[in-house]
Amino acid sequence: MTDLSLKAATPAPPATDAEPSLHRVMGPWLLLLFIVGDILGTGIYALTGQVAKQVGGVVWLPFLVAFVVALITALSYLELVTKYPKAAGAALYTHKAFGIHFLTFIVAFAVMCSGITSASTASRAFSANMSSALGLGLSGFGITMTGLVFMAVVAAVNFRGVGESVKANVVLTCVELTGLLIIIFIGLWAIGLGQGDVSRVMQFKVSDTGLVWPVIAATTLAFFAMVGFEDSVNMAEECKEPTRDFPKVLLAGLFITGVIYVLVSISAITLVPPEQLGEGETPLLKVVQAGAPNFPVWIFGFITMFAVANSALINMLMASRLVYGMSREHVLPPLLGKVHAGRRTPYIAIGFTTLLAFALITFVGEVPALGGTTALLLLCVFTVVNIAVLVLRNDSVAHGHFRTPTILPVLGAISCAFLAGPWTGRAMVQYHVAGILIAIGVVLWVITTLVNRAQGVRPAEPDMETIGGRGPVN
> What is residue 424's DSSP assignment?
G
- Look at residue 315 in the predicted model and tell me its pLDDT: 87
Q: How confident is the model at residue 75 (pLDDT cuts 50, 70, 90)?
A: very high
Measured CA to CA, the distance from residue 145 to residue 199 in angstroms comes to 40
First vs last C-alpha separation in the chain: 16
Q: Give the sign of the dihedral formed by CA 117, CA 122, CA 327, CA 156.
A: positive
Average pLDDT over residues 120-139: 86
30-59: buried (b, 16+ CB within 10 Å) or exposed (e) per residue? Answer: bbbbbbbbbbbbbbbbbbbbbbbbbbbbbb
Neighbours of 203 (CB within 10 A): 16
Nearest-10 crossing angle of helices 90-98, 367-391: 40
Percent of the chain with pLDDT over 70: 88
CA angle centred on 464, ends 459 and 466, rounded to 5°: 50
Residues 6+ apart with CB under 8 A from 100: none
Q: Answer yes or no: is 59 within a domain.
A: yes
- Look at residue 176 in the predicted model and tell me its pLDDT: 85
Q: Answer yes or no: is 460 within a domain.
A: no
* Region for 456 from its dihedrals, namely left if φ exceeds 0, alpha if ψ lies in -120 to 50, beta otherwise: left
Residue type, 105: F
DSSP string for residues in 87-118: S--HHHHHHHHH--HHHHHHHHHHHHHHHHHH
Whichever domain contains 425, its CATH number is 1.20.1740.10
**3-state secondary structure at position 56:** strand
Q: Answer yes or no: is 338 within a domain.
A: yes
Average pLDDT over residues 366-374: 85
- Look at residue 1 in the predicted model and tell me its pLDDT: 36
Q: Answer yes or no: is 14 within a domain.
A: no
pLDDT digits (tens, 9 = 90+) for 242-297: 667 778 888 899 999 999 999 999 999 999 999 999 887 889 999 999 998 888 88
Average pLDDT over residues 188-198: 87
Query: Which class for 436: exposed (0-12), middle (13-18), buried (19 or more C-beta within 10 A)?
Result: middle
- Look at residue 13 in the predicted model and tell me its pLDDT: 42
Measured CA to CA, the distance from residue 208 to residue 377 in angstroms comes to 28
pLDDT digits (tens, 9 = 90+) for 78-103: 898 888 877 578 888 999 999 999 99
pLDDT digits (tens, 9 = 90+) for 286-302: 999 999 888 888 888 88
- Look at residue 163 in the predicted model and tell me its pLDDT: 57
Q: Answer yes or no: is 473 within a domain.
A: no
Q: 3-state SS of the chain: helix, strand, coil percent to 5?
A: 75, 0, 25
16-27: buried (b, 16+ CB within 10 Å) or exposed (e) per residue? Answer: eeeeeeeeeebe
Q: What is the pTM of this model?
A: 0.87
Q: Answer yes or no: is 175 within a domain.
A: yes
* Region for 346 from its dihedrals, namely left if φ exceeds 0, alpha if ψ lies in -120 to 50, beta otherwise: beta
| List of long-range contacts for 108-111, beta carbons under 8 Å, 24+ apart | 108/322, 108/326, 108/462, 108/467, 109/322, 109/326, 109/438, 109/441, 109/445, 110/377, 110/378, 110/380, 110/381, 110/438, 111/322, 111/377, 111/378, 111/381, 111/471, 111/472
Measured CA to CA, the distance from residue 344 to residue 9 in angstroms comes to 9
Q: Answer yes or no: is 11 within a domain.
A: no
Q: Tell me which residue range forms the domain holding 324.
A: 28-455
H or E segment and range at residue 52: helix 42-55
pLDDT digits (tens, 9 = 90+) for 441-459: 999 999 999 988 988 888 8
Measured CA to CA, the distance from residue 288 to residue 6 in angstroms comes to 41
How many separate domains does the chain show?
1
Whether the Cβ atoms of residue 280 and residue 180 lie closer than 8 Å to each other: no
Whether the Cβ atoms of residue 5 and residue 344 lie closer than 8 Å to each other: yes
